[in-house]
Amino acid sequence: MLKPIQIVTPPLAANVYLLRSEIPALIDVGGDSAFLVDAVKKYMNPKDIEYVFLTHSHFDHASAAGDWKSWFDSKIVLHEKEFSLLKSQGFASYMFGIKFKPFEPDIMIKGGEVFDLGDIKLEVIHTPGHSPGSVCLYEREKKWLFSGDTVFPNGSFGRVDLLGGSSYELIKSIEKLTKLDVKNLYPGHEEEVIGNANEHIKTSLRFAKMFL
């Protein structure tokens, strides 16, 4: 099995993950569509990407989705509680010099869905707190967690001072993640954690309870 490819995208170093599974997919798209296309081309034809899973709608993770959908016709997957936030991302992206092309998600999710990509199966876990419709994607057999901006390595966690953020919800979401068996953590920012990722998530919960 080919491991996920981490692509660090400008301008805020948001991570995109390329899954070279039997049915190829991206997790998040970052803020620079041309940059992402060039990065993906190093590994495969972007036209072969079937799904784009957005962990949330913040512009640094989702701004390139509109271009990507129009260029390659990938199916955009987004939690239903994030849809209303999309309208606010145009102004936020403008402040950073990023074009935010409006788009309509193809698949609206609630949490609990499982997407079968052949050799990878992604379970959707609704993890509100950083935003109302934030999600993590869990590969149960491989013990991979794509955590978006919910948790990061070394006890860090997503901010809650943006529109729709909630300290209470974030703590509850991280508690939910501590109950999973996670070996590898693939966060929305910072470096991957390969091995023993559960300890990082437990530390995030401890720090969140201390500081939120």
Contact 59, 88 (CB under 8 A): no
* Cα 141 off chain centre by: 19
In the beta sheet, which residues pair with residue 116?
Answer: 121
Q: What is the CATH number of the domain that holds 190?
A: 3.60.15.10
Name the residue range of residue 91's domain.
5-211
In the 8-state DSSP scheme, what is residue 3? P
| Domain count for the chain | 1
The string of pLDDT tens digits covering residues 41-94 is 999 999 999 999 999 999 899 999 999 999 999 999 999 999 888 776 655 565
User: Residue 74: left (phi > 0), alpha (psi -120 to 50), or beta?
Assistant: beta
Residue 89's pLDDT is 64
Q: What is the pLDDT of residue 83?
A: 86
Kindly state the average pLDDT of the residues 17-45.
98
